[in-house]
Amino acid sequence: MRIVRTVVSLLLALFFLLPLSWMLVVSVKDEAMKIKGVLDWYKPPYTLDTYFYVFRETSLLRWMFNSFVVACAVTVLVVLFTSMSAFALSKIRFRLRGFVFVFILAGLMIPGEAMIIPLYQVVKELGMLDSYQGLILPAIASPFAVVVLKSFFDSVPNELIESAEMDGGGLFKIYYSIVLPLAKPAIASIAILTFIGQWNNFLWPFISITSEELFTLPMGIPTLLSQYTKDYVRPMAINSISSLPVIIVFLFSRSRLCAG
């Protein structure tokens, strides 16, 4: 029984690895390869020529850089802005607090994808289409992070803050030196989720960006691949180059993500 379970688990795991392994191995083959059966893909000879070609002939690196800049900027700003808001909602007793919280909570119910056409119009009227700002700013307006962080800040005891106030610390200092450090695990999760989400974001850049210099990786990849020809090696090399950075980051941060 135990053996059966182990075998089934291992087969499933191998099955999950198949597409990725195929992507990587095809990317180092030569387009002129002769394929008679599945194993032929996995056999040498290998070559990195296609990788060099992709780096030389395409803007993939530039788009990777764009994706990285956008994802980092969004992540930093989301963490900063949403934690400030969550702090105010959780720890400052201001008037209208309940109203503001419900106002933000309601935003959870607005599906971004369904509002992409009006968002396009709004960003157009602001003159921010086809720009970094146009990519970054709308992505920060996510109420999800505020709600999560607020519930986390709620569990920080108020006494800590009161005693800090007695010591003469300003609100910003309390936010910065007490609440933020205490919320590190929650902020780390938000940051990782935001980063991955932005790194993979397709629809909004696809619609709002028209200049090639501003393409992000996910929307750039399709423009490199013709609908009409089905070469195998170049697409897989492009896919591999695009994926390796996230895979590596994932393998390093997996303890955090997979801790459960």
Partner 1 sequence: MKAKQLRLDVKAFLFLLPFLLLYVVFTIFPMFKGLQMSLYDWTLIRKMKFVGLDNYKHMAQDPGFWKSLWNSTYFVILTTPTMLVLALVLAVICNRKSRLQRFYRSVFFLPSVLSVSVVAYVGMYMIQPYTGFTNNFLKMLGLLNPDKELFWLTEAPLAWIAIAGITLWWTVGVNMILYLSAMQDIPEDIYEAARLDGATDGQMFFRITLPLLGPITKTILLLQIIASYKVFLQIYIITRGGPGTDTRPIIQYIYEEGIKNNHMGYAAALSYSLFVILMLISLLQLRVNSRKGAVM
Partner 2 sequence: MDAIIDAFNKSQSDITVKNVKLEWGEYYTKLVTGVSAGKGPDIGISHVSKLPELIKQGVVSEIDDVAKAANLNWGDYNQNILNATISGGKHYAVPLDTHPFIMYYNKKLLQDAGALGADGKPKIEPGADGFVKFLSGIKDKLPKGVSPMALSNNGDDPYRLWWAAYSQLGGNDIISDDGKSTAMDMDKAVKAANFVKSLYYDSKVIKPNDPDFYKSFQSGQAAVMMTGVWATGTWEATKDFDFGAMPIPNLFGNTKTWGDSHTIILPVTKDNDAKKRQAALAFAKFATENGQIWAKAGHIPASTKVVDSAEFKNMKYRSDYVSVAKDVVFPKQSDKTWPKNDILKKYLDEIWLNKTPAEDALKKIDNEVKSLLAK
Site for partner 2 in 118-177 (CB under 8 A): 124, 127, 129-130
Q: Does residue 143 belong to the site contacting partner 1 (CB under 8 A)?
A: yes
Asked whether position 227 contacts partner 2 by CB under 8 A, the answer is yes
Query: Between helices 184-200 and 60-91, what is the axis angle to 10°?
Result: 140
Residue 228's binding partner, choosing from partner 2, partner 1, none, with beta-carbon cut-off 5 to 8 A by kind? partner 2
**How many whole angstroms separate alpha carbon 189 and alpha carbon 147?**
14
Chain center to CA of 148: 17
First to last CA, the chain: 27
**Closest distance to partner 1 from the beta carbon of 128 (Å):** 10
**Contact between 93 and partner 1 per CB under 8 A:** yes
Question: Would you say how long the chain is, in residues?
Answer: 260
Q: How far is CA 223 from the centre of its chain?
A: 21
Candidate segments 53-61, 147-155, 159-167, 182-190, binder of partner 1 by CB under 8 A: 147-155
The listed partner (partner 1, partner 2, none) that binds 223, CB under 5 to 8 Å by sort, is: partner 2
- Cα 149 to chain center, whole Å? 18
Among 69, 156, 160, 246, binds partner 1 (CB under 8 A): 246
By C-alpha distance, which of 246, 106, 256 is closest to 186? 256
Q: Which does 57 bind (CB under 5 to 8 A by kind): partner 2, partner 1, none?
A: none
Residue type, 1: M
Q: Which does 73 bind (CB under 5 to 8 A by kind): partner 2, partner 1, none?
A: none
Contacts of partner 2 in 93-122 (CB under 8 A): none
Q: How far is the CB of 5 from partner 1 (least distance, A)?
A: 8
Task: Identify whether the C-beta of residue 87 lies closer than 8 Å to the C-beta of residue 153.
Answer: yes
